Amino acid sequence: MLTLKKVNKAIQEIEAGWELVKGNGYFYWVHPTADYTQIPTVAVCKINDFTLDQWIEEFKYYNTDY
């Protein structure tokens, strides 16, 4: 079963500081230096709506440095 902890661990291996957080019916990325007005949300209700690979691809898509 996929958890936020597992997704965040995988993201931390790509770049430290980023974290996936659950909102009300969506998820979003946070980072201590991020401009949150520029970070889109991910419109899925449950963490298991995506596989771990899909979450990593979402992160890379929105953070084009990767």
Kindly report, residue by residue over 7-29, the tens digit of the pLDDT. Answer: 999 999 999 999 999 999 999 99
What is the predicted pLDDT for the residue at 36? 76
- Which pairs from 26-32 meet CB under 8 Å and 24+ separation? 29/59, 29/62, 29/63
The answer to whether the beta carbons of residues 26 and 44 sit under 8 Å apart is: yes
The pLDDT value given to residue 12: 95
Q: What is the mean pLDDT of residues 28-49?
A: 88
* CA dihedral of 22, 28, 30, 35, whole degrees rounded to 10: -150
